Structure 1
Amino acid sequence: MEMLSFAIAALTALVVLYGPGCLLFRGLRFAWPLALACAPLASVSGYALVAALWGAAGVPCTATTVALPVILLYGLLLIGSKRGEQGGKPLRSSRFTWAMLALYVLAGLTVCLYVYGLSLGDPAAYYCRFDNQTHFNLARYFVDSQDWSVLHTTSGALADESQTGYYPAGWHLLVALIASLTGIELPIVMNALNGALSGVVYPLSSFALMHALFPTRRNVLLCGAFTAVGFACLPWVLLLKGQLLANLLSFSLVPAAVALTVSYVHAGARHHGKGLALCSILTIGFFGIAHPNGLFTALVFLAPFLIHTIADKLRHSRRLGPDSPWRRPLLVWFVGLAAAYALWQIMLFAPPLQQVVLYNNTGNLNLSWTEAAYAAAAFSLYPEQPPQWVLTIACIAGVIALVRQRRTWLAMPALYMLAVYAICRCVDAPYGLRTFLAGFWYSDPYRILCCAELFLVPIAALGLAAIASAVGRKLATPPPIKPIALVVGLFALVNFFPFYQEPPADRHSDVTGDHFVLTSGTAIGYMRYLIASGYDETEEQIYSAQEHAFVQRALDLIPEGALVINQPHDGSAFAYGIDGINTYFRHIDINGTTEQSRVIRDHLSEIASNPDVQQAVRDSGACYVLLLDQGVPFDEGVWLIQTGEDYQLGWQGLESLASATEGFELVLAEGDMRLYRITGIDGEENQ
């Protein structure tokens, strides 16, 4: 039954992402393949705009009130464009283009099924990492509050100061919309949405970019279907680190956003000004909703593209004299890069971006310069991740082909990101340098390597096509199999071979020795191993399967919506988002919490004798206390890596609570898990 729910949720996600956007882009005379690939940019932007308007007006957000206005608006645009005479008929696509689109989707779904789908085990499985406190709880609060505005984001925890504000909540909005349409439980919806983004949205988006860059190079387009899903870290590391779910949505559409600009420039931006302006607004809006560093990622690619395009046009311009200095590409590149640098500096010092740009991320500075260079060349994030040398060879061949074709600009974004990745992993890299080069990505090597792999997809595809051409030239007689099929087949066999063997315990990486260790298998197999381990309910997580089941039983014993005081470090920080129990604390970080919450954290166990505690609990409306690790010492428990040994110092009021504590009645107990009813509020009877 859960598998059916997962399939329904995934199909609903695709309809939600592609339906309205296709109407808009068809209205703008896009061919169907490009309209499909770019549709989520318009769909998500439309949903977020309507949700923000309803949030300001106090109108409840539901599937009907949010999706229907977007469908009607984009549908009217399509109807109006068909009645107009200036736009002409939409472009048509060849059978080959449709076949390539299908191949990209098929390749994406195949890899997604192996790496992600079959690794879940249970469609409702969840992964307890620090960032998911935000993602799970915000998505749940969107559903409960029916306010889906990205300007009103909050977990809804009463312990937090009553402030709402902006957060790139496009992913969370989509979860709420799909849940509203289907009524399926949130963990399944979240997993289904992640699968749709990884297996369909990102491959289709990559197809759009490949088609924009190589519209007539059939062999390159064919190879792109395999290189788009061939880099192991993208998108899978986004489901492992954090999780970085906002970036998953954002990065999945970066290639499509770039493809839009490239297509308009090639078609003549001057003649399509209105369409370009509308698409630019939608794209900027999308990244503001999904995650802004997707916009900076797109700009890193577009800067050399636009400079190259301007230099080429000026070199062939009839309006310039034969001796004009602007015919010299080097001068145009110098001026263009200077302008890009100036814009970069302005953004670095822009007040709204300071919190991100100045974030000093030192947690991953663990490599020497030699190891950092190796990690960049092998596309490796983890000590035991097998290198992807076959992709490295393809990328080198691609760069050589670009130099020969005088399209060197296409290699610049990827090479830049690889260099930044190496720098952001090196222990000797200065903070100022990392901030300047990668501040827009929190100087986070996980995000930065994903950016590099985004830009390496077309380079690797061109490299495979170049290798196939070289093989064809070397063969004296026509081979029984075409060189392109031979090269792609060998690449797929080596790169996607479904195998990874965990090294023995005595061969694991050691912080005192070499960072990288020899392993058996492929990087794709390694990512499947990591995801399967992370989502495995038989493995102990901070919010374990037993604790999840205990909370489910607790929900059957307490009134609906009853407020429950909890200790978030024991895993209950995830209980609201996953199970819907109304917890008081929904994050282990206590910065920005209320004075009332401090009294409860420090002195809850004194409720029978302390009037201040009684008043604080009474004002909060709390009726129950949930403890999932009562009496468990730090060295025996399972915690988030952000939980330190001194975490109990801020939670004495809950840590000292026991079954015999006056003012509490034991309702449910199992192992070290407890549910208490609060009885010590001046004799008041709690329901």
Structure 2
Amino acid sequence: MQWLSAGPAILAAIGVLIVPGLLLGWFLRLRGFALLALAPVFSVSLISVAAIICPVIGVPWSALPVLVLALAASAVAGVLSRHTRAALRSPRAFDDRFVFAVLGTLLAAVIIGARLVYAFGAPDNISQTYDNIFHLNAIQYILHTQQASSFTVGGMTGIPFYPAGWHAVVSLTVQLSGTGIPVAVNATNLVIGALVWPMACIFLCQQVLGQSRMAALLAGTLSAAFGAFPLMMVDFGVLYPNLLSISLLPAVLALGIQVLHLSAVPDMPPVLRYLAVIVAVPGLALAHPSTLMAFLAFLSPAVVFVFVKSWRKWQRNWPASRSRALAWSGALVVGAAAVLLTWQAVRPIAEAAFWPPIHSPLGSLWELATNSLMNRPPAIVVSILVAAGVVAMARQRNLWWVLGMFGMACALFLVVSSFSPGRLRDFVTAIWYNDSYRLAALVPAVAVLVAAYGAAWLMGLLRRRLDDRASQGRGGAAPADAGTPPPSSAPAARLGAMAIVVLVLLTQLGGVQYAADKARSNYQLTADSQLITRDEMAVLQDMVSLVPEDAVVAANAWNGSALAYALSNRRTIQLHVLSSSFTLDDKIVLDSLREAKTNPTVCPAVRALDVNYVLDFGGQEINGGSHPAPGLDNLEGSGVATLLSRHGDAKLFKFNGCD
């Protein structure tokens, strides 16, 4: 399948992730690039909340409830905006600053998009990884049940809640484009990584660097410069919900910065900033709750910075400021307590947070310093820019909060990757399953801001040096007329263009190339692919014509055959390798189906599950596991099944042992 044929799915994904939030953002008085950058944040919130509302009111899942909720939320925002003071936006919100921010986004989209297309290979390839069994089947489960709520999707495996924001988004892409699930998944992830992520990064960088043209181009270029994100989230796991939530994180951080009055370019009146954060939080939480906790952790140094600064101001006029100081101090204590309680509550069961440390403290610090997280090749240029950003920001007290945010991201990775297992490590990082990969992917969300600041600072130094040399060369030359551009403007533009070209070339070496190559290896359909082999895929394609849509298939989820649900639209008895709904009947079928003629427990179990067909994909399991299903092996000579399709060792049978 060629990528051109995936065009409808890509356009549908763009519409799903942009249009609902664009409507709401307009009524929140957002204009210019802020309107575009925050649209995905609002869209994911609207989609996730609409998905929860639908089963409550008995409405089938589709784009219509999302549109209705977007219109309702926009109406509320419109009413509130009319009662606020004059908007802060510039009357020239769509001027050249907007154009260059869009150009920065397009530059990043081309770079990241090319990497993702290379990694995916073909648009209908799937990630041959453990978690993808759940992700693909969960989308099919949404389409079958016509509900995408985070409180219903988990029912597929018997759990009461699962953050289904990403799955809801992809299900809408499937519905609107009419493409298959694998194509919709890759198209949606392409849009998330190549469009949503760089827009969020540029918007965050604008809060500190301002809306200069060069800042937008630098931020866009550097958003594509990290091997740890977004490529690592379409490789390891596979962690698609984290891909979505982390792509939204920089934009939500930018909103938090505006609420704290730390932004160089606030885009909304204060009241609407609070409303925007309230709207953004559900989407971040329902994409993945751990990223909401990262938002709170990353923003905490900025909160402390504002409080300390305010306290010093209150001390200068203590009698008049005492009440305010005590009130805000109390609010800070209450807020900190609430965050700590939430931090303790929002975490998986202890057994799930089993990932061990992977480095010594020095090894983790080295990876942070060289941007080689998770044993990737060092990203030397990015590391130099981050170091320059740290030095430049350290010289300006009003930006120490940014260093605090970056330090928090680094500290979380340091703890998870190098601290010994125990209560401290569990308290700090069990929210992320004590998984170093997840916290490594969070570091670029703040590092991109520090690197962009460092790049802008170094360019400023170089430009001043060139200007000084130019003025020395001119000697006592008369100044140009007032209407003539300064002599340094054209060289500065050339310098900026050269810097962007050099950054694009140098930052795509090392870690980024390694991440793309590694991800690509997990999307290849081969004779011995981990999850679904070429022969097994051929059998699944045969199922569409050989097996009725309402049939139930006996299959061992561990060898990939459970993906008959997502890829062939045929339900298997278990839809994921981990399921709390595994029953005694399931066990009997998997262990003893071939004994249906002699074992009296088999046929009652078959009838209870309504099993009609059997998939035998052999003993190769994902991640080298060993969970044999002897009841499905060697059915040819058992007399209980008829072979319908065979490709290599992959076989499909019609079960007739209980007729």
**Does the 8 Å CA contact 2:228/2:440 hold for their aligned counterparts?**
yes
Task: Give distance in 2, aligned partners of 1:336 and 1:98.
Answer: 37
Q: Structure 1 residues 323, 85: CA separation in 2 closer, same or farther (over 3 Å shift)? A: closer
Post-superposition offset of 1:61? 1.6
**Does the 8 Å CA contact 1:203/1:229 hold for their aligned counterparts?**
yes
Q: What is aligned with 1:653?
A: 631
From 561, 583, 593, the equivalent of 1:594 is 583
Q: What is aligned with 2:516?
A: 528
Q: Structure 1 residues 51, 430: CA separation in 2 closer, same or farther (over 3 Å shift)? A: closer
2:371 matches 1:372: no
**What amino acid maps onto 1:438 in structure 2?**
T
Q: What is aligned with 1:13?
A: 13
Q: What is aligned with 2:625?
A: 644
Q: What is aligned with 1:506?
A: none
Q: Structure 1 residues 225, 132: CA separation in 2 closer, same or farther (over 3 Å shift)? A: same
Deviates more, 1:201-210 or 1:116-125: 116-125
2:514 matches 1:496: no
2:303 matches 1:306: yes
Post-superposition offset of 1:94? 5.2
Deviation per CA, 1:252-291, whole angstroms, max 9, x where unpaired? 111111212222443999x956524432332221123111
Deviation per CA, 1:166-212, whole angstroms, max 9, x where unpaired? 21101110111111112111111110000000000011111221122
Output aligned runs, 1:106-125, within 5 Å: 106-125=106-125
Q: Structure 1 residues 470, 430: CA separation in 2 closer, same or farther (over 3 Å shift)? A: same
Task: Give distance in 1, aligned partners of 2:392 and 2:554.
Answer: 62
Task: Give distance in 1, aligned partners of 2:396 and 2:527.
Answer: 52
Q: What is aligned with 2:477?
A: none
**What amino acid maps onto 1:285 in structure 2?**
P
Q: Structure 1 residues 530, 481: CA separation in 2 closer, same or farther (over 3 Å shift)? A: farther
**Does the 8 Å CA contact 1:27/1:81 hold for their aligned counterparts?**
no
SS in 2 for 1:349: helix
Q: What is aligned with 2:446?
A: 455
Task: Give distance in 1, aligned partners of 2:506 and 2:469.
Answer: 26
Task: Give distance in 2, aligned partners of 1:26 and 1:357.
Answer: 43
TM-score by length of 1: 0.85
Q: Structure 1 residues 323, 71: CA separation in 2 closer, same or farther (over 3 Å shift)? A: closer
Task: Give distance in 2, aligned partners of 1:438 and 1:257.
Answer: 21
Task: Give distance in 1, aligned partners of 2:60 and 2:173.
Answer: 16
Post-superposition offset of 1:293? 1.2
Deviation per CA, 1:317-348, whole angstroms, max 9, x where unpaired? 597249999999xx999999977764554234
**What amino acid maps onto 1:376 in structure 2?**
L
Task: Give distance in 1, aligned partners of 2:329 and 2:390.
Answer: 22
Post-superposition offset of 1:123? 0.9
From 396, 404, 415, the equivalent of 1:405 is 396
SS in 2 for 1:611: coil
From 430, 436, 439, the equivalent of 1:445 is 436
Uncovered stretches (5+) of structure 1, i.e. residues with no partner = 498-521
Q: Structure 1 residues 112, 432: CA separation in 2 closer, same or farther (over 3 Å shift)? A: same
Task: Give distance in 2, aligned partners of 1:277 and 1:332.
Answer: 19
**Does the 8 Å CA contact 1:356/1:441 hold for their aligned counterparts?**
no
Task: Give distance in 2, aligned partners of 1:468 and 1:91.
Answer: 27
Q: What is aligned with 1:283?
A: 280
Post-superposition offset of 1:89? 8.8
**Does the 8 Å CA contact 2:159/2:580 hold for their aligned counterparts?**
no
SS in 2 for 1:661: coil
Task: Give distance in 1, aligned partners of 2:20 and 2:563.
Answer: 33
**Does the 8 Å CA contact 2:643/2:653 hold for their aligned counterparts?**
yes
Task: Give distance in 2, aligned partners of 1:58 and 1:34.
Answer: 35
Q: What is aligned with 2:474?
A: none
Q: Structure 1 residues 224, 134: CA separation in 2 closer, same or farther (over 3 Å shift)? A: same
**Does the 8 Å CA contact 2:218/2:500 hold for their aligned counterparts?**
yes
Q: What is aligned with 1:511?
A: none
Q: Structure 1 residues 640, 410: CA separation in 2 closer, same or farther (over 3 Å shift)? A: same
Task: Give distance in 1, aligned partners of 2:116 and 2:87.
Answer: 43
From 253, 256, 263, the equivalent of 1:258 is 253
Post-superposition offset of 1:452? 1.5
Q: What is aligned with 2:29?
A: 29
Deviation per CA, 1:379-418, whole angstroms, max 9, x where unpaired? 22344x3201211111111111111111222112222322
**Does the 8 Å CA contact 1:46/1:70 hold for their aligned counterparts?**
yes
SS in 2 for 1:425: helix
**What amino acid maps onto 1:362 in structure 2?**
W
**Does the 8 Å CA contact 1:213/1:262 hold for their aligned counterparts?**
no
Task: Give distance in 1, aligned partners of 2:462 and 2:111.
Answer: 27
Task: Give distance in 1, aligned partners of 2:358 and 2:155.
Answer: 33
Q: What is aligned with 2:480?
A: none
Q: Structure 1 residues 58, 609: CA separation in 2 closer, same or farther (over 3 Å shift)? A: farther
**Does the 8 Å CA contact 2:235/2:519 hold for their aligned counterparts?**
yes
Q: Structure 1 residues 86, 466: CA separation in 2 closer, same or farther (over 3 Å shift)? A: closer
**Does the 8 Å CA contact 1:114/1:528 hold for their aligned counterparts?**
no
Q: What is aligned with 1:612?
A: 601
2:354 matches 1:361: yes
**Does the 8 Å CA contact 1:23/1:78 hold for their aligned counterparts?**
no
Q: What is aligned with 2:57?
A: 57
Q: Structure 1 residues 569, 106: CA separation in 2 closer, same or farther (over 3 Å shift)? A: same
**Does the 8 Å CA contact 1:572/1:586 hold for their aligned counterparts?**
no
**Does the 8 Å CA contact 2:298/2:408 hold for their aligned counterparts?**
no
Post-superposition offset of 1:164? 5.4
SS in 2 for 1:588: coil
Task: Give distance in 2, aligned partners of 1:84 and 1:448.
Answer: 41
**Does the 8 Å CA contact 1:219/1:484 hold for their aligned counterparts?**
yes
SS in 1 for 2:372: coil
Percent identity, aligned pairs only?
A: 27
Task: Give distance in 1, aligned partners of 2:547 and 2:321.
Answer: 81
TM-score by length of 2: 0.88
Q: What is aligned with 1:512?
A: none
SS in 1 for 2:66: helix
**What amino acid maps onto 2:409 in structure 1?**
M
Q: Structure 1 residues 405, 430: CA separation in 2 closer, same or farther (over 3 Å shift)? A: same
Post-superposition offset of 1:295? 1.0
Q: Structure 1 residues 215, 192: CA separation in 2 closer, same or farther (over 3 Å shift)? A: same
More helix by share: 2
Post-superposition offset of 1:47? 2.4
**What amino acid maps onto 2:635 in structure 1?**
A
Post-superposition offset of 1:299? 1.1
SS in 1 for 2:17: helix
Q: What is aligned with 2:71?
A: 72
**Does the 8 Å CA contact 1:379/1:449 hold for their aligned counterparts?**
no
Post-superposition offset of 1:79? 6.2
Q: Structure 1 residues 32, 450: CA separation in 2 closer, same or farther (over 3 Å shift)? A: same
**Does the 8 Å CA contact 2:555/2:590 hold for their aligned counterparts?**
no
Count of residues in correspondence between the two structures: 632
Uncovered stretches (5+) of structure 2, i.e. residues with no partner = 471-487
Q: Structure 1 residues 96, 246: CA separation in 2 closer, same or farther (over 3 Å shift)? A: same
SS in 1 for 2:576: coil
Task: Give distance in 1, aligned partners of 2:557 and 2:81.
Answer: 56
Output aligned runs, 1:242-641, within 5 Å: 242-266=237-261, 274-317=271-314, 320-321=317-318, 342-350=337-345, 353-355=346-348, 359-363=352-356, 365-383=357-375, 385-406=376-397, 407-426=399-418, 429-475=420-466, 476-478=468-470, 481-482=491-492, 483-497=495-509, 522-538=510-526, 540-541=528-529, 542-589=531-578, 591-629=580-618, 632=619, 637=620, 639-641=621-623
**What amino acid maps onto 2:617 in structure 1?**
L
**Does the 8 Å CA contact 1:575/1:583 hold for their aligned counterparts?**
yes
Task: Give distance in 2, aligned partners of 1:560 and 1:579.
Answer: 9
Deviates more, 1:576-585 or 1:332-341: 332-341
**Does the 8 Å CA contact 2:574/2:582 hold for their aligned counterparts?**
no
Q: Structure 1 residues 332, 76: CA separation in 2 closer, same or farther (over 3 Å shift)? A: closer
Q: Structure 1 residues 175, 591: CA separation in 2 closer, same or farther (over 3 Å shift)? A: same
